[in-house]
C-alpha cells in the first residue's frame, strides 16, 4: 500500500514511520512526503531515506482549491491509498477530505475531544489536568474531530515541567502512529459512524 506523509516542520513522527518500515514493523511503501514549507526538516529526513519529496508553496496559488488540486495530482500519480498528517500546519478543505474520505489520518497530542487545536500539550498542561495523552483519528470536515482509531493516556506527574511532558507525549506518538498506520494497511479498521472497530 502506498502512503503519503504531509509535514510542515521537524518531522519526528515521519522519522518514526520511516524507522518502523525499516525494522519491518510496518509493511507499507512510503511513496511520498509532501510539505508546504521548503525549510521543513522533514524534507531532509525523507531525502536521506531516499523517499520522493514534494514542496508545494501555497503562496503560488490564488485560492486554496488550486493548492489542493496540485496536491491531488501528486497523490494520484503515486497511487496513494493513505494520507498521514504529521505536523501539517494547514487545514484541509471539506472538499479535499470528502475526496479522500476515510483515507486521511491525523495524530493529536491530547485525548480528544479535549484540547483541540495546535497547542494540545500546553493547553492540557496549563489547564491542570491530571491525565492527558495522544489520539490518532480519521480526518473529517471538522478540526480534530473524526473517528478515533487509537488513544493512549499519560498521567501528569506532580511538579512535571511542560518540556518533560512534551518529551513523554512525543515518545507515545512515535509508537502509536506507526501502529495505527499498520492497522489501516492491514485492513483491520472498520468504521461505523463515530466508532472504529479494530479487527483481529
Residues carrying an active site annotation:
108
Question: Cα separation of 39 and 146, whole Å?
Answer: 30
- Inter-residue contact 145 to 108 (CB < 8 Å): no
**1: Cβ contacts below 8 Å, ≥ 6 apart:** 28, 29, 81, 82, 185
Question: Cα separation of 121 and 185, whole Å?
Answer: 28
CA distances from 44 to 59, 108, 112, 157 (A): 22, 23, 31, 35
**Of 194, 107, 193, 188, whose CA–CA distance to 150 is shortest?**
107
In the numeric block, the cell 492527558 is attached to: 132
**Of 180, 151, 160, whose CA–CA distance to 86 is shortest?**
180
Amino acid at each position: 500500500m502506498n502512503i503519503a506523509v504531509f509535514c510542515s516542520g521537524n518531522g519526528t513522527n515521519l522519522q518514526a514511520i520511516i524507522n518502523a518500515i525499516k525494522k519491518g514493523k510496518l509493511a507499507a511503501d512510503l511513496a511520498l512526503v509532501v510539505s508546504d514549507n521548503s525549510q521543513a526538516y522533514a524534507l531532509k529526513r525523507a531525502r536521506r531515506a531516499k523517499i520522493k519529496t514534494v514542496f508545494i508553496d501555497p503562496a503560488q496559488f490564488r485560492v486554496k482549491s488550486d493548492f489542493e488540486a496540485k496536491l491531488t495530482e501528486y497523490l494520484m500519480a503515486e497511487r496513494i491509498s493513505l494520507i498521514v498528517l504529521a505536523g501539517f500546519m494547514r487545514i484541509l478543505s471539506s472538499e479535499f477530505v470528502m475526496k479522500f474520505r476515510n483515507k486521511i489520518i491525523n495524530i493529536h497530542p491530547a485525548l480528544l475531544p479535549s484540547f483541540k487545536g495546535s497547542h494540545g500539550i500546553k493547553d492540557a498542561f496549563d489547564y491542570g489536568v491530571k491525565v492527558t495523552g495522544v489520539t490518532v483519528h480519521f480526518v473529517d470536515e471538522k478540526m480534530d474531530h473524526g473517528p478515533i482509531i487509537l488513544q493512549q493516556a499519560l498521567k501528569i506527574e506532580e511538579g512535571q515541567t511542560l518540556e518533560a511532558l512534551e518529551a513523554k507525549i512525543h515518545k507515545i506518538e512515535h509508537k502509536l502512529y506507526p501502529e495505527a498506520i499498520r492497522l489501516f494497511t492491514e485492513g483491520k479498521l472498520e468504521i461505523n459512524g463515530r466508532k472504529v472497530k479494530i479487527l483481529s
